[in-house]
Amino acid sequence: MQPLKIIIQGDFWDCQIYRGRLYLWYTDGSVGVYNWDSLVKETFKNKVDQLVLQCAFIEGDLLYKEGIALIFKDLEIKNVLLEKFKKTFEKELLIDLEQLKNFEYSKQDNPVAELPTDTCIYNNTLFTITDLGIYSSSIHSRKTKYGISTRANRLWDCPLISVKAAHNSLALAGGDQGVFELHLDDYNDFPNLKKIDKKIYQVSEAHSSLVNWSFASLYSSSYIETSFLAAFGWEQEQKTERKEHKRRFKKIIPDSKILKNSDFSWGSQEKIYLANSNTINVFKYVQSNVNLKDENQTFQFLETIPLTESKGEIISGGIAYFGVIIEFNDALSVLSSNGDSLFTFPEAVARWRIYPRSKRYENHLHVIYEDRLVIYSFNHDYFIKQESKTRGIKYSQSSSQLFPKTN
Amino acid sequence: MCIPEDTPIPIQLTNKTIHYKIVTVHRRAGNQNKCIWTITPKEEVDCFQFSASNDWLDEKQGWGLKSNKNGSLDQIGLSTQKKPLKIAKFVDTNLTCEWHGYPADYCKNSQDVPSCKVLEKWKKNNLISKTNFSKIRQRKPCNL
């Protein structure tokens, strides 16, 4: 099943999607906020089936919902829907800047001085990384005419590379500075981590190019040195009359302990991918076994995926429900979660984003090229058995407890 | 022309004279912690002069490139991991107008990432693409 795509023409630098709004950073230093639901519905209302638009681009969790699986047991219904997706794939869905402007909520100067190195939206707050540090700005506020508050609050002055939010904390990759956590509330206490500031802890001094959450733990990937899992676990503590679960740092586990000799590895939630020049080895991470001394029980081998076509050095990776994203110097590939497809987009990308923590856009892959943003929508994962899948994060109705949803 | 190492060389700019020093430690492969130049000392000085004349130097630091006749960028050095490097970093830490430089490993070292201002100038002058501008900011390897 081919992914659907919407192409937005323009010179973009970064993008985010959150609670029905599309945020676009332009290379000229401005930021536009757009009403995504209306943009999609209105622009393509006479061109594309409304149910497909809704499922593919507006409400990505619709087909995961309980009860839908029952309906798909009726092959006649399932085939009708698949046919609708197929027909949409054959259509070119294009949006130019003029059409985009019709759905503009606001356009403003970027609230921070520079083009962002990375951005992240969590709990109605935009976090922006630049060379000057990390900033927060409120979004979705009724008090301001702009989509993003014009007042950015600098949280820390460390030059960082990437940010990912969960558990009311920001996981931060700081290159040669190491890996950090910045806590957004006052209820944090990590006696075995180095405290940098009131709410900032250093998790590791080792080089980190990007960091992802693996349940309570962090997976740090590096283009330079060994990637590693910073293992955290939950501990029960007696506080006066009631028991509390506290997240506690356990240990650093380098990727060489999972698999000897890998060039680059990345992990998120229960999956870890370790790549060599022509294979990717997949491991399952078992968070509940993190306290066990035997690391074979923490990391369970699942499969080896051969990379038949050589596209050069892997420079980054990501994991979504719909599959595994692999970035090469001049291409972006997706190993689809149904196990039978490798989609390759043979063009160097400026930036790509996935939204596995969102409620409605977990099936999106946003890719920024020199002259356009392409919003891919993958729609095969609803029809496969989540228990046995090796490519991509397992979707479960209860995953929201372990993997807090953000929008 | 033989350019002496560790000796300040005067560089005449339109409004002032500054000095540049070829530093021995970035010319010998023996030190495993240092990136080394693979271009000649004269090319290193030319690279600095090109950077100064294009206003790619801030008060204390600057960055440089070596473009060729085809419009693409030449390798200027090697990283400590023996990977090719194409961006030069120049520093005048003590603000004495006496600069020196080394091949910058922006993937590895935070201080080697060119400033946003300089990257914007490079993109404006078509020396780098937006794609590579973005990758450098994210400290990802890229085909410069």
Band of the pLDDT at A74, cuts 50, 70, 90?
confident
Give the per-residue pLDDT at A215: 95
Task: Find all residues with CB under 8 Å of B17, minimum gap 6, and list them.
Answer: B10, B11, B97
Q: Starting at the edge strand that comes first in sequence, how are the strands of the sheet with B61-64 ordered?
A: B9-12, B17-21, B98-103, B88-91, B61-64
Band of the pLDDT at A180, cuts 50, 70, 90?
very high
**B110, B129, B130: residue with CB nearest A176:** B110
Reported as a single tens digit per residue, the pLDDT across A48-58 is: 999 999 999 99
Are the CB atoms for A159 and A174 separated by under 8 Å? Answer: yes
Q: What average pLDDT does the segment A10-20 reach?
A: 97
Question: Picking from A26-30, A64-68, A263-267, B6-10, which range would have the lowest pLDDT averaged per residue?
Answer: A64-68
Determine whether A217 is exposed, middle or buried from the number of CB atoms within 10 Å of its CB (0-12, 13-18, 19+): buried
**B120, B137, B142: residue with CB nearest A329:** B142
**Contact residues, chain B, for A175 at CB < 8 Å:** 108-110, 139
- Residue pairs spanning A and B at CB distance below 8 A: 68
Q: How many structural domains compose chain B?
A: 1
Determine whether B11 is exposed, middle or buried from the number of CB atoms within 10 Å of its CB (0-12, 13-18, 19+): middle
- The domain of B95 spans 9-109
Strand, helix or coil at A103? coil
B60 touches A: beta carbon within 8 Å? no
Distance between B108 CA and the closest CA of chain A, angstroms = 6
* Among A residues 85-144, those touching chain B with beta carbons less than 8 Å apart: 114-115, 117-118, 130-131
A314 touches B: beta carbon within 8 Å? no
Band of the pLDDT at A400, cuts 50, 70, 90?
very low
A163 touches B: beta carbon within 8 Å? no
CA B51 to chain centre: 8
Q: What average pLDDT does the segment A88-112 reach?
A: 94
Determine whether A65 is exposed, middle or buried from the number of CB atoms within 10 Å of its CB (0-12, 13-18, 19+): exposed
DSSP string, A199-236: TEEEEE-S-BSEEEEETTEEEEE-SSS--EEEEEEEEE
Query: What is the per-residue burial (b if ≥16 Cβ within 10 Å, else e) of A347-384?
Result: ebbbbbbbbbbbebbbbbbbbbbeebbbbbbbbbbbeb
A377: alpha, beta or left? (left if phi > 0; alpha if psi -120 to 50): beta
Q: What average pLDDT does the segment A232-236 reach?
A: 88
Are the CB atoms for B128 and B134 separated by under 8 Å? Answer: no
- Is B4 contained in some domain? no
DSSP string, A261-280: S-SEEEEETTEEEEE-SSEE
Q: What average pLDDT does the segment A141-164 reach?
A: 91
A28: nearest CA partner in chain B: B120
A11 touches B: beta carbon within 8 Å? yes
Band of the pLDDT at A141, cuts 50, 70, 90?
confident
Nearest CA to A342 out of A368, A313, A311, A299 is that of A311
B56, pLDDT greater than 70: yes
- Is B141 contained in some domain? no
Task: Give the Cβ contact number of residue B15 at 10 Å.
Answer: 5
Are the CB atoms for A292 and A298 separated by under 8 Å? Answer: yes
* Lookup result for tokens 């020396």: B127
B131 touches A: beta carbon within 8 Å? yes
- Is B2 contained in some domain? no
Q: Starting at the edge strand that comes first in sequence, how are the strands of the sheet with A162-166 ordered?
A: A162-166, A169-173, A179-183, A200-204, A194-197
**B113, B115, B131: residue with CB nearest A350:** B131
Band of the pLDDT at B87, cuts 50, 70, 90?
very high
DSSP 8-state code for residue A2: P
Give the per-residue pLDDT at A152: 94
- Is B83 contained in some domain? yes
Percent pLDDT > 70 in chain A is: 97
Are the CB atoms for A181 and A211 separated by under 8 Å? Answer: no
B58 touches A: beta carbon within 8 Å? no
The ipTM estimated for the assembled molecules is 0.92
Give the per-residue pLDDT at A328: 93
- Is B54 contained in some domain? yes
The type of residue at A68 is I
More confident residue, A322 or B12: A322
Give the per-residue pLDDT at A401: 43
Distance between A223 CA and the closest CA of chain B, angstroms = 7
Are the CB atoms for A251 and A244 separated by under 8 Å? Answer: no
Q: How far is CA A74 from CA A60, A81, A197, B119, in A?
A: 21, 11, 57, 56
Distance between B120 CA and the closest CA of chain A, angstroms = 9
Give the per-residue pLDDT at A67: 82
A407, pLDDT greater than 60: no
Reported as a single tens digit per residue, the pLDDT across A366-399 is: 999 999 999 999 999 998 889 899 999 999 876 5
The type of residue at B89 is K
- Is B73 contained in some domain? yes
**Contact residues, chain A, for B135 at CB < 8 Å:** 315, 350
- Is B132 contained in some domain? no
Task: Find all residues with CB under 8 Å of A236, minimum gap 6, and list them.
Answer: A243, A244, A245, A246
Interface test with A, best of B107, B119, B138 (most A CBs within 10 A): B138
Task: Find all residues with CB under 8 Å of A247, minimum gap 6, and list them.
Answer: A167, A216, A232, A233, A234
DSSP 8-state code for residue A382: G
